[in-house]
Chains A and B, each alone.
Chain A
Amino acid sequence: MSEQTLKRVDLIFGEYSNEKYKVLATTLERTNEDILKDILESGLRGRGGAGFPTAMKWKFTAETPGDEKYVVCNADEGEPGTFKDREILLRVPRKVFSGMAICGRVIGAKKGLMYLRGEYKFMVPELMKELDSYHEHVKQLGFDFTIEIRMGSGAYICGEESALFESMEGGRGEPRNKPPYPTTSGFMKKPTVINNVETFVNVLMIMRLGPDQYKKLGTTDSRGSKVFSVSGDTPIPGIYELELGMSLDRFVDEFGDGDTKAVQVGGASGFCVPRKKFKDTVIGFEGVPTGGSMMIFNSSRSMYNVLHNYLEFFEEESCGQCTPCRVGCQQLLKGIVAVKKGEKKAVYLDQLMKLSESMKITAKCGLGQSVANSFSSIVNNFKEEMIY
């Protein structure tokens, strides 16, 4: 383990303010412009993985005319290797609800919805208890913003924002065409802000600390801290809150088992980084972005098996709506099996690579588009393992 340890941060999981919902109360005394200015200043980008600037999302939705608007908290955390939202909701739910309420005030929404994945149903009783207390407090503050919890039922694709709306509207979780974006047409076709659980907590922390203090963490492109879900071949798996912008080799020094061969950054839909590239890889929006999933593989692991597992996952979780993704996932899986068995020559991998590139430009949503990330990064870096 390296002597120079990574900077641990205690922002997201840090203690609550002494008084319940105090930061929310003081924030509600400020003007919307003022709040937005602070979020913009802080450089906060969405924590679900895509990294869209939060202030812009809120601003666009606030500017869209309409009496009925919604705030949606995306708690459909389903990316393999990610479990940080569960931890946030178990440990600091109050911060999440406060962040949603601030958003409601800024965009002019009266209603917030949290879409929680079915796998996390066991948390509902605790969340409801906190929610009751939240509603009591906002009532006292004379602020009209209620929050409701909606459950998913075991579909990864519902983490895609427009699929999530479809699901909450009672349909199949099939992504919509974009544009229109949620800022103009989201839940019930109304202007909607949809953010990840962690993003809402970050907003609250910016309100508490002020943008200047917040900006001290991270780099120019990746402000603040990030909650990482660390799993795989590591002696210390778990949840860690770290500053953004660290290099992957420092991460591996701290979390690897001394024999790390590759790290999957950003889950199955992210990138697989081989050992030789650890040094030049930065974790953050300027390098390899991540929703927090960091899966570590040591040299005992077959990268063929890893890729096979991912492709099975995508094949099952593809909603089947668009052809590139539905057929593409099946063919990629069949293809690597055929190459491994020797039924197809090694050059067939190049064909598969082209297929994954086509999926990237033709698939309707992020699921089909991002299969190429792990596919090409594993096949390119571990070609021998795919063939022999």
Chain B
Amino acid sequence: MTDCKSLIQELADKYGRERASLLPILQGVVEKNNYLSDSCMTDIAKELDLSAAQVYGTATFYSFLDTEPRGEHVIRVCKTITCDMHGKKTIIQTLEDMLKIKVGETTPNKKFTLLETNCLGWCHEGPAMLINDTPYSGLTTEKVHDIISEFIKK
């Protein structure tokens, strides 16, 4: 995990210290650290001269700005209608079996977090999931096995 204070400095130098810079900074921290810790949000507030409540309020509004510790690879499986119709349940089951965690949990080695999310925009190729920023569509049990095995090896 990157040190929060220096990371925030770096992001604020890049995006500015305006209120409008808040979202890119929050996104930048999540990209590096996988989540926003309380102390990190307080540091952002100081850096941008905002109240901690304003930072917390903004962060908690967005489903991709996690305020709980997450694994290195965050898996988000689409649960919206067409993915659901085309076998999302089996995909979740496969992932749960492989990673030995339930939806909402993180593996003990902090490598994977399994989550569900709303429509990812791959309805024509469902079921679909995101692993960090990369989308995977047309999922089958075999395909999920291959993808996750690759990540485990890394």
User: Which A residues have a C-beta under 8 Å from some C-beta of B?
Assistant: 77-83, 86, 117-122, 150-156, 167-174, 188, 229-233, 237-239, 264, 268, 295, 297, 301, 305-306, 309-310, 313, 316-317, 319
Contacts and interface: CB of A to CB of B under 8 A. Distances in A.
A295 B26 CA distance: 35
B124 A122 contact: no
Contacts of A172: 57-58, 61
B49 interface: no
Contacts of A268: 80-81
A229 B123 CA distance: 8
A86 B124 CA distance: 12
Interface string B116-136: 011111111110001001110
A168 B73 CA distance: 27
A265 B118 CA distance: 19
Closest 5 CB pairs of A and B: A170-B22, A154-B64, A237-B124, A231-B123, A153-B62
A169 B20 contact: yes
B19 interface: yes
Contacts of B58: 170-172
B82 interface: yes
Contact of A237 (B23, B24, B123, B135): B123
Interface in B58-100: 58, 61-65, 79-82, 84-85
A63 B102 CA distance: 56
Nearest to A317: B118
Q: Which of A83, A119, A168, A239 has the most CB of B within 10 A?
A: A119
A165 B143 CA distance: 39
B118 A118 contact: no
B21 interface: yes
B125 A313 contact: no
Interface of B: 18-24, 26-27, 57-58, 61-65, 79-82, 84-85, 117-126, 130, 133-135
Contacts of A188: 20
Contact of B121 (A120, A168, A238, A316): A120
Contacts of B122: 83
A264 B79 CA distance: 17
B84 A309 contact: yes
10 contacts: A122-B134, A154-B63, A170-B20, A170-B58, A172-B58, A173-B61, A229-B124, A232-B81, A295-B123, A313-B80
Contacts of A301: 85
B81 A173 contact: no
Given A81-B81, A167-B23, A313-B80, A173 B123 contact: no
Contacts of A309: 79-81, 84
Contacts of B20: 168-170, 188
Contacts of B124: 83, 229-231, 237-239
B121 A153 contact: no
A154 to B, nearest CB: 4
A310 B81 contact: yes
B121 A83 contact: yes
Given A231-B123, A268-B80, 19 more contacts: A81-B81, A81-B123, A83-B122, A119-B130, A153-B26, A154-B65, A155-B61, A171-B58, A172-B61, A188-B20, A230-B124, A231-B82, A231-B126, A237-B124, A239-B124, A264-B81, A309-B79, A309-B81, A316-B118
B82 A154 contact: no
